[in-house]
Amino acid sequence: MVSYTFPQTAGKNGAKASFTIGREDNQTLPVELSFFNAQMYQGNSIRLQWQTQSETNVSGFQIYRGTSDLFAEALLLDVFINATNTSQAQYYVFYDRELYAPGTYYYWLESVDFDGSSQLYGSIPVYFEGIEPGLPSIPAITGIVKNYPNPFNPTTTLVYGLEQDSRVYIVVYNAKGQKVRNLLDGSQNSGWYRLDWDGRNDAGQQLGSGVYFMRMQADGKTLTHKVVMMK
């Protein structure tokens, strides 16, 4: 509700009146966003910041990241920021630390209401200079350290180590335990390594979203690492 005093002009005489600002269906107003931006932070992450002037019936916020300005190709990050639902200005910040390659990234912010409706803001482009993810400086241990990004679409990089010279087998299985891709079969010296998987099977066909398992056999050991492809 707002009150307004009309200027003393013909027919008004300085009269006061009250008005209701809102939607015709009497539903709550959407979140009012003051700003939303993204910038590189400390050389190793992207800092997202946004501020709301008011919130009503808002469950929280989700963040999408893409390598192009096409929202349909963006990845929903595994994060949900709870809203405060207040008439006071609120400030939010999130650090995306799952970036490993330099390039321009695009971010979208989605405010999700309790009734399931949502509003999308963005995209916001930001250039990430990147730091060479490198390989750990500690002595290598036989096994899979990580893959990045995870979830991924459509390519991910596996980081693994060998404590001693060994023949290495790395195979990808689907959630049903079926072998879909032979990634590596060869002898390697001790040390740290990276290996890319483009999300395709041995026939070169693009696989669908889901959980996959990378099984590594080396140095008399068998190790398994779970990865998630999300489109």
> What are the tens digits of pLDDT across the range 56-115?
888 999 999 998 899 988 889 989 999 988 878 889 999 998 876 678 899 999 999 988
Mean pLDDT, the chain, as a whole number? 83
Confidence of residue 53 (pLDDT cuts 50, 70, 90): confident
Of the listed ranges 20-24, 93-97, 206-210, the one predicted with least confidence:
20-24
Domain positions in the chain are 2-128, 143-229
Q: Are 227 and 201 in contact (CB under 8 A)?
A: no
CATH number, domain 2-128, options 3.55.40.10, 3.40.640.10, 2.60.40.10, 3.90.660.10:
2.60.40.10
CATH number, domain 143-229, options 3.30.390.50, 2.60.40.4070, 3.40.50.300, 3.30.70.2190:
2.60.40.4070
Q: Is the pLDDT of residue 117 over 90?
A: no
Q: Is the pLDDT of residue 20 over 80?
A: no
* Mean pLDDT within 40-57: 85
Confidence of residue 16 (pLDDT cuts 50, 70, 90): low
Query: What whole-number distance in Å separates Cα of residue 212 and Cα of residue 70?
Result: 26
Looking at per-residue pLDDT, the higher value among 153 and 3 belongs to: 153
Question: 100: closest CA among 58, 164, 152, 138?
Answer: 152
Q: Residue 197 class from Cβ within 10 Å (0-12 exposed, 13-18 middle, 19+ buried)?
A: buried
The pairing of beta strand 166-174 with beta strand 210-218? antiparallel
Looking at per-residue pLDDT, the higher value among 143 and 10 belongs to: 143
Q: Please tell me the predicted confidence (pLDDT) of residue 228.
A: 93
| The domains spanning 2-128 and 143-229 adopt the same CATH topology | yes
